[in-house]
Amino acid sequence: MSMKPLIIGNIISLIAAFFILSILFLLGICGLDFAFNNITKILMWIVWILAFPAYLEYRKSSLKASYLINYLPPIAILITFIGLVLLMEGKFLGLEIIVLGYILEPISGISIYLSIKNIQKFSAYLFFYGAVIYTIGLPFYLINIPEIAIIGDLIKIIGLLYFMRFMITNSSQ
C-alpha cells in the first residue's frame, strides 16, 4: 500500500469533513430550507469538488478491497452532482438525492478502513463508524434531529486527525 496518496487522500477528506460539518451546523441551526441559501450551496459544491482529488489519491493508494473505492465513489459523485443541480433549481428532491449519494460513502470507505486498520486500529474504527453514524444521521434532519449526523462527522474527523497524528509521529522516528 502506498502511504503518500493515502495521507493526501485523508487530508483532502479531512478538509471536506470540516466543510461538511459547517453545512451540518448551518442546516441544524437554520433549518433545512437553508440548504437553498447561496452560502450552503457554495459549501456543498466545494465538498463535491473535493471528492475528485480525494478519490484519485485513494485510488493510487492500492487499498484493500480496492474495488469498493474504485467503483462506488464515481457513482456517488454522479448522484450528488444530480442532487446539486436539482438543489440549484430550488428542488427539495436535490437534497434527498444528495443524501442518497452519501449512502455510498461508508460502503466505499470500507477499503480505507481495512487498510488503515492494519496501521492504526483505533483511528480506523473512529473513521469508519463516524462515517456510518454520519450517514445514518442525515435523514434525521427531516425530523429536526441534526445531532446524529454532526456527532458522526465529528467522530470521523477525530479518526482522521488521530490517524494523521499517528503517521506524522511514526514517520519522524
Cell of 83: 442532487
- The CB density around residue 37, as the number of other CB atoms within 10 Å, is 13
Separation of alpha carbons 99 and 122, rounded Å: 27
What's the pLDDT at 21? 97
What's the pLDDT at 1? 62
DSSP string, 89-141: TT-THHHHHHHHHHTHHHHHHHHHHHHHHTT-HHHHHHHHHHHHHHHHHGGGG
38-63 in b/e form (b: 16+ CB < 10 A) is eebbebbeebbebbebbbebbbebeb
Average pLDDT over residues 123-136: 94
- What's the whole-model pTM score? 0.92
Which residues, 6 or more positions from 88, have their beta carbon under 8 angstroms from its beta carbon? 41, 94
Condensed to tens digits (0 to 9), the pLDDT of residues 74-86 reads: 999 999 999 999 9
* Nearest to 78, CA basis, from 97, 59, 91, 96: 97
DSSP code, position 34? G
What's the pLDDT at 96? 93
Structurally, the chain folds into a number of domains equal to 1
What's the pLDDT at 173? 58
**Is the pLDDT confidence value at 44 over 80?**
yes
Separation of alpha carbons 115 and 63, rounded Å: 6
Query: CA separation (Å) from 44 to 30, 70, 112?
Result: 16, 23, 23
Structural domain for 96, as ranges = 3-172
Residues recorded for the chain? 173
